[in-house]
């Protein structure tokens, strides 16, 4: 490698730092479990990575790579960073180790966004036709009747302004097919509001269904 070449890890990353700063405000100096994806975002439809933070009674997963993590190009929209959002999901767990399946499922939704050019917004739903945990294909994935991801703004991370533009954190919330039908009759927000009465942070609990 020549003196002028830089690896991804060495590139200026103001977008990445802005996400880190938002998580520091929420979790302090907690060291998350972070995974990277191969091939990385620059060479595939994958995310660059995903971090899991230990909350009071659950794990909080946050993606890196749907927004612009590094220095944007001259033709990039300065109002929005990349797609303008990152993904989150919250899953139960009080152990020392974060479950593995959410890392895979968050990346699967990111690959859908990147390959299809789909801009997700709060209120939408993604029907998987199979468990949102990836069961039975992922080793640690529990069986569940949750087969749809409803999308809402993460109730704690919300939206941030970064040097690369705006980023909203969109939370994936696992719901049943019956709940999806109720959303079509009323609205996604109304049904999620009912679920929030049980858990305000809208944890995706596979055991719920």
Q: Render pLDDT for 139-172 as a digit per residue (tens, 0 to 9).
A: 999 999 999 999 999 999 999 999 999 999 999 9
Q: Which two tokens stand for residue 110?
A: 């990111």
Residue 147 lies in a domain: yes
**pLDDT tens-digit series, residues 77-128:** 889 999 999 999 999 997 789 999 999 999 999 999 999 999 999 999 999 9
> Residue 4: is its pLDDT beyond 60?
no
- At 123 the pLDDT is 98
Q: Which helix (H) or strand (E) holds 22?
A: helix 14-27
Residue 100 in contact with residue 140, Cβ under 8 Å? yes
Query: Please, what is the average pLDDT of the chain?
Result: 93
Torsion angles phi and psi, residue 73, rounded to 5 = -80, 165
State mean pLDDT over 27-39.
97
State mean pLDDT over 190-201.
96
- Looking at the structure of the chain, the number of domains it has is 1
Domain that holds residue 91: 8-208
Question: Shortest CA distance to 23 belongs to which of 66, 53, 64?
Answer: 53
Residue 131 lies in a domain: yes
Percent of the chain with pLDDT over 70: 96
Residue 126 lies in a domain: yes
* β-strand pairing of 159-162 with 165-175: antiparallel
- Using DSSP, state whether 99 is helix, strand or coil: coil
Q: What is the maximum span of the chain, computed from C-alpha positions, in angstroms?
A: 60
């Amino acid at each position: 490698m020549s003196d002028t070449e830089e690896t991804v890890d060495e590139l200026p990353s103001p977008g990445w730092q802005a996400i880190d700063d938002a998580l520091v405000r929420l979790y302090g100096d907690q060291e998350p479990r972070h995974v990277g994806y191969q091939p990385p975002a620059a060479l595939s439809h994958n995310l660059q990575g995903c971090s899991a933070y230990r909350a009071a009674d659950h794990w909080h997963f946050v993606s890196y790579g749907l927004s612009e993590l590094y220095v944007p190009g001259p033709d990039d929209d300065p109002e929005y960073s990349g797609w303008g959002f990152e993904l989150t999901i919250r899953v139960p767990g009080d152990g020392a180790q974060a479950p593995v399946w959410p890392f895979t499922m968050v990346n699967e939704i990111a690959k859908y966004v990147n390959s299809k050019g789909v801009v997700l917004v709060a209120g939408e739903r993604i029907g998987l036709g199979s468990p949102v945990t990836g069961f039975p294909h992922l080793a640690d994935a529990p069986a569940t009747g949750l087969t749809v991801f409803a999308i809402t703004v993460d109730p704690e991370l919300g939206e941030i302004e970064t040097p690369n533009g705006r980023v909203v954190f969109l939370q994936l919330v696992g719901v049943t097919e019956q709940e999806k039908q109720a959303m079509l009759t009323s609205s996604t927000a109304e049904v999620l509001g009912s679920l929030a009465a049980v858990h305000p942070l809208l944890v995706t609990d596979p055991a719920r269904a």
